[in-house]
Amino acid sequence: MIGIISAMQEEIQALLNELKNVETSEKGMRTYYTGTLFNTNVVLVFSRWGKVASAATTTQLINDFNVDEIIFTGVAGAIHTNLNIGDVVIGKNLYQHDLNASPFYKKFEIPILKKEFLETKNATKLIEATTNFINTYNTYINNEEAIAFDITAPKIVFGDIASGDKFIKSLKKIKKLNKALPTAICVEMEGAAVAQICYEYEIPFSIIRIISDKANDNATIDFSRFANSIASYYALGILKNYFNN
């Protein structure tokens, strides 16, 4: 069984709409949806925002649903000039940008684990699935919605992601992140926490992030609308290709 997590239900609503043989269970104020998605046994859940919420959800998912793999999908803010709204980042290495246990450990190093970042798995297959999605983009994404968010020629980037319990919305903060973590290309609030839990439980983890904003002073888009009409359908198209390969 494959576990699929997002921070907001809007980000996986299109997947929920396609889920067959649905059963639900309530645990820790979360609803876990089990069923089949493109002939694959899955369990879907939205974790809520932040590292604590996503880590708790991931732990419950692993312990109660016997998942073989976890995929996180959702939006992120770009902190690299090469990224535009609508681009897809397939995560490579996940950093916790707000983790600093110095002088006992190096900045960003996870205590005990002694790792500054956590690597994802199955990236090649996910990149191939995303490429196939981009090639059939108009099948999934409404053209008027794409125009509304100024999405013209979305691309795929395989790169590092920074996670932390802060909503980054200023150029000043972006510059600090660029200096501290020069390889990170986007920022969000859950991925590295999920990656850490998966690492500790030895569960393969991968992550899809759709760029919703530039994480700057103009990071004020309608997140709910973007998540529901854009990000949710990205997840649908990418995972349909991922499961059918």
Here the tokens at position 194 are: 């999920």
Here the tokens at position 61 are: 């998912």
E-only strand ranges, 79-175: 88-96, 118-119, 156-163
Alpha helices in the chain (DSSP H): 13-18, 51-65, 123-135, 137-140, 143-148, 171-180, 191-201, 223-226, 232-244
pLDDT of residue 166: 87
Is 11 assigned a catalytic role?
A: yes
pLDDT of residue 96: 98
Do the beta carbons of residue 3 and residue 65 sit within 8 Å?
Answer: yes
Give the active site residue among 10, 11, 109, 160: 11
pLDDT of residue 169: 78
Q: Domains, the chain, ranges and CATH?
A: 2-244 (3.40.50.1580)
pLDDT of residue 219: 54
Per-residue pLDDT of the chain (245 residues; tens, 9 = 90+): 999 999 999 999 999 999 999 999 999 999 999 999 999 999 999 999 999 999 999 999 999 999 999 999 999 999 998 999 999 999 999 999 999 999 999 999 999 999 999 999 989 999 999 999 999 999 999 999 999 998 989 999 999 999 999 888 788 888 999 999 999 999 999 999 999 999 999 999 999 999 998 765 555 567 788 988 999 999 999 999 999 87
Is 213 assigned a catalytic role?
A: yes
pLDDT of residue 225: 87
Give the active site residue among 87, 109, 160, 213: 213
* Residues near 67 by beta carbon (within 8 Å), at least 6 away in sequence: 1, 2, 3, 43, 61, 203
